[in-house]
Amino acid sequence: MNKRIVVIGGSAAGPKAAAKAKRLDQHAQVTIIQKSPDLSMASCGYPYYVGGFFEDRNQLLSTPIGVVRDPKFYLKAKGITAKTQTEALSIDRENRIVHCRDLVSGVEFDEPYDKLVLATGASPIIPPVPGHDLQGITTLQSMQDADFLRKIVDDHSVSKAVIVGGGLIGIETCEALQLAGIQITTIEMLPQILTFLDWDLAKLLENHVRMHAANVITDNPVTAFLGENGKLTGVRLKSGTELPCELAVIAVGVRPNSALAGKAGLTVGPRGGITVNEFLQTSDEHIYAVGDCIEVRNRLTGEISPAPYGDLANLEGRVAARNAMEGNHVVFPGTIQTGICKVFDFAAGSTGLSETRARAQGFDAVSCVTSGLDKPHFMGAKLLILKMTADRKTGRLLGLQAVGPGDVSKRIAEAAMAIMGNLTIEDLVNADLPYAPPFSPAVDNLIMAAHVMENKMRGLMKGLSVVEFKERLERKTPMCIIDIRSAEEFEETRLGVGEVLIPLGALRGRLQDLPQDKETEIVLFCKTSLRAYEAATFLEAHGWSNVRVMEGGLAVWPYPREK
């Protein structure tokens, strides 16, 4: 008898599992049960469809050559039966049957299986505040949500909107609606947006969003949605502030859809995701689970938690299919939480652990911030800001964050592979990466960050983050602050915190202008602090013992400054 594989869920992980299973055994009977009318939705593309980056919604459902992945496609091209608008009601584990209902006809039926793959996804979290059911409040989790927002954009029917949540989807939706001419306010209950970043880099992104005429409010959650005649008219914040709006997009996160699994008696983890082993097998040997509905292991910390990423969902679907068809022999190793998003003409990416999270996980973490151009200046270079985190004891790379208009994706990808390979800073300082002027500097930005980290860990550079520097200023810590840039740069923009201008080229002739008590703390900076490090080595060679470099320079200063 041919093997029967049933997959519940038809977004990303489910279709991948079904397609891989069929490729492994062309005689297998593979069936997808999908509650939605759509299949294989490119859900990460929803904000870009809303924002008008492309016009045809079918592109979210199509193959690269433009064929819509509907039930006919799955049957003809892959030999897979896809039953859309069909709900899986329950699982009879003893008899290996899924009880289903056709949502169009109402007819209930049974779908027998030899192996079952759960890919039930996740649902958006709706804050339990008054008025959350008013007309004009939506999420961006489904094709229907995307259609709703795209119609608003095309009809120009909304002038003011709020985005509740400053994470990946919230920020991408902010951009999409702002580009349509809608006045946007993004509201985040935490002290920063994009919590996969440390505060200092997140603040740079927040400033960038504001530059594009979108307001950002942090540390001030929504306490009520306001309305008249059932329609949204505004939101009230914890501070008491009321903001008028006709549209609110809730993007505060998702919750794994594990109810079906729980009802069937499968083990569900403490964070609500289905528990799986390294083979993506549930507590039932005949049932596997993949995608946003499961909890997976963090490869750096060992922590088990949901990891709702579209790329991981596809990888998990492939692994589960192989194990379901061939027996458990392929391990899914877990995640290092690699992600990236577009923020107007910036990108923000992260892989591994931020400094904040590394410390919270018990690592003796050391970080450094660097800034520079992503290729030679004569090749149309753009600014790139990196924050690298390593374990002080072993030198192992723990994480990298990157923001800016430069090529963020490349450096995050480089660092992700380094983390998965357990590479150390010592390994990275001589990494053999591709170089040509159209693509990168001769010393790639990642390698440059490793050089700075090596200097910092060896004590060759005493770094000072912008946050630490600002704290010293607020405490009125005695220090001599020197701007090493040129007079022209100084006139164009400056910090305005009591710094003295001594250009690097003039420093050797102006040692008499420095504090003669050579234990006085001296803080140096320039645009990226490359010149500042050069100056620091010179001053230390001439006896000053407490010289610090403001890491990343003016390019990473997130606070107000003189112009």
Point out the residues that are catalytic.
Answer: 44
Contact status, residue 298 vs residue 114, Cβ threshold 8 Å: no
Please state whether beta strands 183-188 and 160-164 pair in parallel, antiparallel, or not at all (unpaired).
Answer: parallel
Q: What's the CA gap between 34 and 119, in Å, rounded?
A: 10
Strands 29-33 and 81-83: parallel
> Tokens 């380094």 — which residue?
418
Burial class (CB within 10 angstroms; exposed 0-12, middle 13-18, buried 19+) of 428 = buried
At 480, phi and psi to the nearest 5? -100, 120
Tokens of 257: 């859809």
What strands lie across the sheet with 231-237, from one edge to the other? 222-228, 231-237, 242-244
CA–CA dist 357, 300 (Å, integer): 11
CA dihedral 15→19→25→28, nearest 10 degrees, is 40
Q: For every residue of 81-137, which 3-state class applies, written as one string?
A: EEECCEEEEEEECCCCEEEEEECCCCCEEEEECCEEEECCCEEECCCCCCCCCCECE
With a CB cutoff of 8 Å and minimum separation 6, the contacts of 106 are: none
The encoded tokens of residue 56 equal 């045809």
Alpha-carbon gap, residue 474 to 235, rounded angstroms:
34
